[in-house]
Amino acid sequence: MRCLVTGATGYIGGRLAPRLIEAGYAVRCLSRSAGRLRDMPWAHRVEIVEGDLGDAVSLVPAFEGVDVAYFLMHSLGRADFESADRVAARNFAAAARAAGVRRIVYLGGPEPPPGDRPSPHLRSRAEVARILLESGVPTAVLRAPVIIGSGSASFEMLRYLTERLPVMVTPRWVSNRIQPIAVRDVLRYLVTAATLPPEVSRGFDIGGPDVLSYADMMRRYARVADLRPRGIVPLRPFSPWLSAHWVGLITPVPNAIARPLVASLVHEAIAKEHDLDAYVHDRTPLLGFDEAVRLALGRVRDANVETRWSTAAAWDAAAEPLPSDPDWSGGSMYVDERCREVSAPAADLWRVIEGVGGDNGWYSFPLAWAVRGWLDRLVGGVGLRRGRRDRQRLRIGEALDWWRVEELVPGKLLRLRAEMRVPGRAWLEMSAEPDGDRASVYRQRAVFLPRGLAGHAYWASVVPFHGIVFSGMARNIARGAESPTERRRA
């Protein structure tokens, strides 16, 4: 069976494509520019066709031979998103009908309670659903509320608001009930929808096992993320318009996206039925809110976690973002990167890298490292007293001063996880890359994921010293590799 995925450069589409491949389907992705999918880790396993849902003629090659077509795009962020989505849905429906597609699958939004005036966002979602259901092609519309997963706009709003504000003056909608669902379960439902019987053409509500208010979600997020309990003070005159600007001020979520999302939160979003479950062969229980948040934050080691980070298993959620995720998603991450060309073989450079710490020191500003170690011990941390087990060799899992060796690729990579007392999580990575037979490249990266306002304040306080400590460290490691007799501590 061949599946066509539109929106493959987006949050859901970029995660659904590999799931469909795993299910044994041939996958074709539609994109306005094939180059946007080039860096996807699964790009070599799919067929990529260029086309634009706003241009009906360009869609003909994309739909040829397709059995199931997924409509996963939306134009949030554009002032005219309602009209753009209307045109896209009509062109998509016409192309699917002309090509003899057997099923359309659409991921939409919840239906507002009867009598409510829907927000523009939900009104547009409902209109797209209606266009697709009236296409003449059997259609499954999955109505999802807030999706819990790193990279989801709704989740990112929740993340930033909770992490950045220990006390929040909130609008009335924080008391509205919502049935959030983990992105993993959304993907499972989307894959299931491809195999629905041909006579099934309707909408389905999907939601997780927990029904919570937005305020409840913020409190429970804080608990899972090890933040102090958040104070929430509802303010009745807080209008959706004012709320959207407030979200835009506090979070990096763009106003053009925050406005329609916030306007939609004035409606409760609870599943009225669970009929799609009857068609799901995998009876794995739906993830609860807390577990979904743990997965989104990388707190659970799981190869199948739907995360923003492409190497989460190694970095514990502190690696590179998926190319399909927005630049503003994934929480705050501070990075200090250094790179130096070294006129010595990679083997010589690696010997210096692996010798870091303990009696060998950290190759720069020994007094600064010592003072930081004393301060850590004052607040109950380990400081620098643990040293290292062996002067020349390291092993995965062993202690190294206030670090723990998290990853070690002999001759290439050393990744350390901080165990000092800091309001967040920190890593230091050093690597050696060959550059010909007699030269190499040294790369150094420090990563810090702040926890709450204290974490942001901590990073701001140490940034002035990074230029001295980390640049000196990179410089002296390079010099140590080039001249073994040179003193390696500045």
> Do 287 and 358 reside in the same domain of the chain?
no
Select the more confidently predicted residue: 183 or 402: 183
> Do 119 and 197 reside in the same domain of the chain?
yes
What would the mean pLDDT of 203-208 be, rounded to a whole number?
95
* Residue 487 included in any domain: no
> Do 448 and 349 reside in the same domain of the chain?
yes
Give the gyration radius of the chain's Cα atoms.
26
Where residue 299 falls among pLDDT bands split at 50, 70, 90? low
Q: Which of 142-146, 195-199, 324-328 has the lowest mean pLDDT?
A: 324-328
Q: Residue 254 above 80 pLDDT? A: no
Residues 6+ apart with CB under 8 A from 129: 106, 108, 141, 143, 203
> Do 283 and 393 reside in the same domain of the chain?
no
Q: For residue 326, what pLDDT is reported?
A: 62
> Do 363 and 270 reside in the same domain of the chain?
no
Q: For residue 255, what pLDDT is reported?
A: 67
Where residue 242 falls among pLDDT bands split at 50, 70, 90? low
> Do 358 and 280 reside in the same domain of the chain?
no
* Residue 313 included in any domain: no
Report the distance separating Cα 249 and Cα 258, nearest Å.
10
Q: Which of 184-198, 306-320, 472-486 has the lowest mean pLDDT?
A: 306-320
Q: Residue 187 above 80 pLDDT? A: yes
Handedness of CA 304, 306, 311, 316 (dihedral sign): negative
Instruction: Determine the length of the chain.
Output: 490
Select the more confidently predicted residue: 308 or 364: 364
> Do 352 and 253 reside in the same domain of the chain?
no
Q: For residue 308, what pLDDT is reported?
A: 37
**Residue ending a domain, choose from 259, 292, 308:** 308
Where residue 117 falls among pLDDT bands split at 50, 70, 90? confident
Select the more confidently predicted residue: 454 or 415: 415
Domain limits for position 357: 334-482
Q: For residue 488, what pLDDT is reported?
A: 42
Where residue 4 falls among pLDDT bands split at 50, 70, 90? very high
* Residue 100 included in any domain: yes
Select the more confidently predicted residue: 240 or 296: 296
**Residue ending a domain, choose from 261, 293, 308:** 308
Q: For residue 305, what pLDDT is reported?
A: 42
**Residue ending a domain, choose from 308, 343, 374:** 308
> Do 161 and 108 reside in the same domain of the chain?
yes
Q: Residue 218 above 70 pLDDT? A: yes
* Residue 314 included in any domain: no
Select the more confidently predicted residue: 339 or 385: 339
Q: For residue 315, what pLDDT is reported?
A: 33
Burial class (CB in 10 A: 0-12, 13-18, 19+), 423: middle
Percent of the chain clearing pLDDT 70 (strictly above): 84
Q: Which of 88-97, 267-276, 286-295, 434-443 has the lowest mean pLDDT?
A: 267-276
Q: For residue 22, what pLDDT is reported?
A: 93
Q: Which of 241-250, 252-261, 355-364 has the lowest mean pLDDT?
A: 241-250
Report the distance separating Cα 252 and Cα 5, nearest Å.
28
> Do 43 and 154 reside in the same domain of the chain?
yes
* Residue 303 included in any domain: yes
pLDDT tens by residue, 97-110: 999 999 999 999 88
pLDDT tens by residue, 347-363: 999 999 999 988 888 88
* Spatial CA neighbour of 84 closest among 49, 111, 124: 124
> Do 181 and 287 reside in the same domain of the chain?
yes
The pair of three-digit structure tokens given for residue 316, joined into one six-digit string: 């514990």
Q: For residue 236, what pLDDT is reported?
A: 62
Q: For residue 302, what pLDDT is reported?
A: 45
> Do 206 and 111 reside in the same domain of the chain?
yes
Average pLDDT of the chain is: 83
Side chain identity, residue 451: R
Q: Report the alpha-carbon angle 278-153-292, nearest 5.
A: 50
Percent of the chain clearing pLDDT 90 (strictly above): 43
Find out whether 331 and 448 touch, Cβ atoms under 8 Å: no
What would the mean pLDDT of 437-455 be, rounded to a whole number?
87
In the chain, the number of structural domains is 2
Find out whether 122 and 264 touch, Cβ atoms under 8 Å: yes
* Residue 240 included in any domain: yes
* Spatial CA neighbour of 150 closest among 312, 267, 263, 23: 312
Report the distance separating Cα 17 and Cα 45, nearest Å.
10
Find out whether 77 and 254 touch, Cβ atoms under 8 Å: yes
> Do 279 and 195 reside in the same domain of the chain?
yes
Q: For residue 241, what pLDDT is reported?
A: 60
The CATH number of the domain where 272 resides is what? 3.40.50.720
Q: For residue 95, what pLDDT is reported?
A: 96
The CATH number of the domain where 474 resides is what? 3.30.530.20
Direct distance between the N- and C-terminal alpha carbons of the chain, in angstroms, rounded to an integer: 63
Q: Which of 4-18, 131-145, 241-255, 273-287 has the lowest mean pLDDT?
A: 241-255
* Residue 401 included in any domain: yes
* Residue 316 included in any domain: no
